[in-house]
Amino acid sequence: MKYSLEVSNLTKAYPGSDFRLDNVSFAVPQGSIMGFVGENGSGKTTTISCILNTLKPDSGVIKIFGEEMTEERTDIRDHIGVVFDAINFPEALTANKLASVFKDIYRHWDGGLFQHLLQRLQVPADTRIKDLSRGMTMKLATAVALSHGAKLLLLDEATSGLDPVVREEMLDLFLEFVEDEEHSILISSHITSDLEKIADYITFIHNGRIILTEDKDTLLYQYGIARCTADQFQSLDKSEYLSSRKRGFQVDVLISDKESFSRQHRDITVDNTTIDEIMLLLVKGDQ
Amino acid sequence: MGSDFYLEIIISNNSSKPIYEQISSQIKALVMSGKLQPGDPIPSMRSLAKMIHVSVITVQRAYEDLQRDGFIETTVGRGSFISAHHRNVIHEEHRRKMHEHLRLAVEAARMSGTTLDELTRLLVMCYGEDCQ
């Protein structure tokens, strides 16, 4: 399999802080969308900053399109589109002015595509950025990210704080982007229902460590939550589940294969699960 | 890209059936009803994913299942087509369905203590009803 992004053994500590990225490794296959999930402060943004080389990792290797990313490789960076939660476009500029700036910065700037995206997303081209709503600003940022020949999109909470209609428009754009099988996306989001719609893989990060990477359909259709009584839980072997969490009288148990679990334990109720619930159990539960 | 294909697929978000199964079973149904004919092209995985708003890996799984069951063929560079050998496949699929439903009927019969004779009579009656 070819990978657009490979992160291997990435480590980064901050002086004066307990937080550190601890041996983070994962890979985004070419042509796919990887959802990147974790609580606030779990290390998502630090990881993405290291990938972009805006933060210098203590150790580890980052490969983009199979080549190692170093400070000199600005040519690789040309093919990475970025949308962050906080947008830092100069507030006094309009979308049109922005376009004339980017034309000189990006080697592969596509002005026609940018105008087309502005129209499609109904972003006013002649309004100053400071007068745009948050939704408009995020749409503008997405249009920029898609207009400079990017093959890899890094989206850090790009859809947070947006209404369902705007999010749907953005998700449409992302699915269109990966219609080209050389294109890939790494998207971090707390809105896991969005990821359940469009992501191919999900990677969970917690306390600076990757705790699970899995095929999304496997998570949604093969993983499950067993709702056990205390006695039923006692009867389980530790190897049968990934994590457990006591909730009142019941114990919720995360299992990786609900069909085989149900065959073994016909009397235990097993529910389908969601990315949110898996994260809760992995983060708050006992392993 | 892909808009020249019109594939009537309905995805339910509340179904207990996984989305990849919803896709593959509906394409099978379209083939069995003759709405899709041998040689008919079907959208690429990526354009179908975009059209029906699901992830690529979900469509990929559906196409893999369809290919395994002989409903579609994929040629590199030319995309996916309804398989030409699908008549046997359809027959197989119908048999599989019959088998599945009969198995359920037998299970119900066993549970209620119904004899094979009684069950057979029921089957003959049902078959007759449908014929009229």
pLDDT of residue B2: 40
User: Hey, are the CB atoms on B56 and A217 less than 8 Å from each other?
Assistant: no
Angle between helices A95-105 and A111-120 (to 10 degrees): 150
Tell me which chain A residues have a C-beta less than 8 angstroms from the C-beta of B18.
217, 220-221
Q: What is the mean pLDDT of residues A168-177?
A: 94
Contact state of B55 with A176 under an 8 Å Cβ cutoff:
no
- Whether residue A179 and residue B47 make contact (CB cut-off 8 A), yes or no, is yes
Q: What does the alpha-carbon distance between residue A38 and residue B14 come to, in Å, rounded to a whole number?
A: 26
pLDDT at A287: 79
Q: Which of B2, B53, B57 sits opposite A217 (nearest CB)?
A: B57
* A112-166 tens-digit pLDDT: 999 999 999 999 999 999 999 988 999 999 999 999 999 999 999 998 888 999 9
Residue of chain A whose alpha carbon sits nearest to that of B61: A217
What six digits make up the tokens of B74? Answer: 């994929």
Strand pairing of A250-255 and A224-229? antiparallel
Q: Could you report the predicted ipTM of this complex, rounded to two decimals?
A: 0.73
Asked whether the predicted pLDDT for residue B4 surpasses 70, the reply is: no
Would the pTM count as exceeding 0.80? yes
Confidence of residue B3 (pLDDT cuts 50, 70, 90): very low
> Residue written as tokens 């920029």?
A144
CA distance B70 to chain A (A): 23
A238 is written with which tokens?
């530790």
CA–CA separation, A280 and A39 (whole Å):
9
Residue A281 in this model has a pLDDT that exceeds 90: yes
pLDDT at B130: 59
How far is it, in rounded angstroms, from Cα B57 to Cα A213? 15
Q: How many CB atoms are closer than 10 A to CB B29?
A: 14
Give the distance, in angstroms, between the CA of residue B118 and the centroid of all CA atoms in the same chain. Answer: 31
Buried b (16+ CB within 10 A) or exposed e, A240-261: bbbbbbeeeebbbbbbbebeeb
Look at strands A201-206 and A209-215 and give their pairing.
antiparallel
Q: Which two tokens stand for residue B107?
A: 């299970």
Task: Please report residues of A whose CB lies closer than 8 A to that of B74.
Answer: none
Q: Rounded to a whole number, what is the distance in Å from the CA of A177 to chain B's nearest CA?
A: 9
Return the ∠ at Cα B107 (arms to B106 and B112), rounded to 5°.
95
- Ramachandran class of A254: left when φ > 0, alpha when ψ lies in -120 to 50, beta otherwise: beta
pLDDT in tens, A214-223: 999 999 999 9
Q: How far is A149 from chain B (nearest CA, A)?
A: 19
Chain A contact for B55 (CB, 8 A cutoff): yes
DSSP string, A63-130: EETTEE--TT-HHHHTTEEEEESS----TT-BHHHHHHHHHHH-TT--HHHHHHHHHHTT--TTSBGG
Which of B16, B50, B57 is facing A175, going by the closest CB pair? B50
Phi-psi bin for B16: left (phi > 0), alpha (psi -120 to 50), beta? alpha
The residues, ordered by sequence, that sit 6+ positions from A55 with a Cβ below 8 Å of its Cβ are A12, A46, A49
- Chain A residue with minimum CA distance to B47: A179
Minimal Cα–Cα distance from B106 to chain A, Å?
21
Q: Distance, in angstroms, between B35 CA and closest chain A CA?
A: 26
Give mean pLDDT, residues A91-98.
93
Is A200–B46 a contact, with Cβ atoms under 8 angstroms apart?
A: no
Residue B6's pLDDT band (cuts 50, 70, 90): low
Instruction: Provide mean pLDDT across the span B82-109.
Output: 84
Q: What is the DSSP annotation of A209-257?
A: EEEEEEEHHHHHHT-EEEEEEHHHHHHS-GGG-SEEEEETTEEEEEES-
Residue B97 parent element (H or E): helix B86-112
The residue ranking higher by pLDDT, A176 or B94, is A176
- The arithmetic mean of pLDDT across residues B52-70, rounded, is 92
Q: Which of A175-189, B12-26, B72-86 has the lowest mean pLDDT?
A: B72-86
